Amino acid sequence: MAKNSIFRGSGVAMVTPMKENGEINYEVMADLIEAQIAGGTDALIICGTSGEAPTLEDGEHLEAIRFAVEQTKGRVPVIAGTGSNNTAHAVMMSEESEKLGADGLLLVTPYYNKATQDGLYAHYRTIAGATKLPCIVYNVPSRTGTNILPPTVARLAKDQENIVAIKEASGNISQVAKVAELADGNLDIYSGNDDQIVPICSLGGVGVISVLANVAPRQTHDMVMMCLEGRYPEARALQLAALPLVEQLFIEVNPIPVKAALVMQGFAVGTPRLPLTEMTQAHQETLRAAMQEFGVL
């Protein structure tokens, strides 16, 4: 494990449950947190992509983090999504999340305005330098239009003590391998894609930050633990069995399908805020079938 590691295993990229009027539903959030901890989830990621961070106002974003910390009571780490394409805003949200008791930060690469590799380096060092919390770099080029390259990641891990991990969602296994090589054990690698948990663990990854874990916490946790214990044939079988459900959880843009899936499981998480919309009926039917096949409905 890297310096100041936050967790090993399955970190759930939690949804933010909403009432019919669009407000955050804290009663349901408490139920989700309890279900995740009971299901073996090793860390909670609050207000990331799956938590609809782009449409949360700062006040409710921070209140969701405060509530999660209070509800969790230290049983598992709470990691706050505080990334932004405005470095100063990310610094402010990170500082406030530290005051609220978060155990770590998830920091997405700047989106829309993008940045050079030198800009990404300066962005992350500025945010990490403003907090004592361990920081996870989040690389998801399909959403941000920006790819933080392995040499930049390795440089950050070497130069900034509290940059301790990367959530790798580039989908490029060769890139993940290069990160593992250059970081040389100084950085925890988490899979950011639920269909690549086992491949990334095989390259030295220590876990996943997962959408699948919202609806299949035990299976996602077990898959990582099998890898960490060297039980790769079992892990591979579980990874392949999960693929049809993973495909359905991304048949529309995340978190549209996972919110629909949680409703099917009996959690009143509501529908996403605009510009995201409710899942189509046809896709709900294929999602339901995949959930039944995987044994989570």
Say if residues 115 and 123 touch (Cβ distance below 8 Å). yes
By residue count, the chain amounts to 297
Question: Does residue 257 sit within a domain?
Answer: no
Residue 281 in domain: no
3-state SS assignment for residue 168: strand
Asked if 261 contacts 284 with a C-beta cutoff of 8 angstroms, the reply is: no
State residue 97's pLDDT score. Answer: 98
Collapsed DSSP state (helix, strand, coil) of residue 188 = strand
Residue 64 in domain: yes
* Active site (catalytic) residues: 138, 167
Structural domain harbouring 105: 9-231
- DSSP state for residue 253 in the 8-state scheme: S
Instruction: Determine, yes or no, domain membership for 263.
Output: no
The CA distance from 135 to 151, in Å, is 18
In a domain, 192, yes or no: yes
Q: What is the total count of domains within the chain?
A: 1
pLDDT at 4: 75
Q: Is residue 47 part of a domain?
A: yes
pLDDT in tens, the chain (297 residues): 566 789 999 999 999 999 999 999 999 999 999 999 999 999 999 999 999 999 999 999 999 999 999 999 999 999 999 999 999 999 999 999 999 999 999 999 999 999 999 999 999 999 999 999 999 999 999 999 999 999 999 999 999 999 999 999 999 999 999 999 999 889 999 999 999 999 999 999 999 999 999 999 999 999 999 999 999 999 999 999 999 999 999 999 999 999 999 999 999 999 999 999 999 999 999 999 999 999 999
In this prediction, residue 76 carries a pLDDT of 98
Q: Would you say residue 268 lies in a domain?
A: no
Q: Is residue 283 part of a domain?
A: no
CATH number at residue 160: 3.20.20.70
pLDDT on residue 292: 98
pTM exceeds 0.75, yes or no: yes
Residue 61 contacts residue 53 (beta carbons within 8 Å): yes
